[in-house]
Amino acid sequence: MTLTKDLGVLRTIPLFAKVDPAKLKLLAFTSERLAYVSGDELFHQGDHGDAAYIILEGEADILVDTPTGTIKVASLGKNDIIGEIAILCDVPRTATVVAHGGLEALRVSKEGFFHLVIQFPQVGIEVMSALASKLHDTTQALTEVRARVNELDEGNGDG
């Protein structure tokens, strides 16, 4: 993959829409474009987190191991960011990410990510918005499931 082609790809990612195209070269040098086939793991729950990923093409399943088995908690697609939690708060990977069909992703190392945000604060705002949006959805889901548990608990109490 030539740098020119990489830059063309980077320009189409909404996360970098507000970055001066001339400066995107920095990212092209600090990121890596990877291809996966269906079933390939981008990373596994419990792994040390050393990079974030942006999906360029395809879909990925987010799987979480629980005491009662593995649950698919989300499905992500083009332009979504994956794996930023582990590099931001130094925790092991909280989920396993698996390619659902063919997948292309941009891998940005932890150091590259922080460098990028310091150089381009607007990218930081986009990442914050994406995190806030995920937190919003997760909090809504948690509230709904907790309400469901309350109902089931009451149901069991009656039975």
Site residues for a second copy, 70-129, by CB under 8 A, read 71, 73, 84-85, 88-89, 91, 94-95, 114, 117-119, 121-122, 124-125, 127-129
Residue of 3, 17, 35, 152 that binds a second copy (CB under 8 A): 152
Q: Give the integer Cα–Cα distance in Å for 136 and 144.
A: 12
Q: Which two tokens stand for residue 29?
A: 């040098």
User: Is 38 one of the binding residues for a second copy (CB under 8 A)?
Assistant: no
Q: Which two tokens stand for residue 61?
A: 């399943």
User: Is 30 one of the binding residues for a second copy (CB under 8 A)?
Assistant: no
Phi-psi region of 79 (alpha: psi -120 to 50; beta: other; left: phi over 0): left
Whole-angstrom CA distances from 127 to 51, 52, 81, 103, 114 are 14, 11, 8, 21, 11
* Total interface residues for a second copy by CB under 8 A: 49
Q: State the residues that interact with a second copy by CB under 8 A.
A: 64, 66-68, 71, 73, 84-85, 88-89, 91, 94-95, 114, 117-119, 121-122, 124-125, 127-129, 131-136, 138-153, 155-156, 159
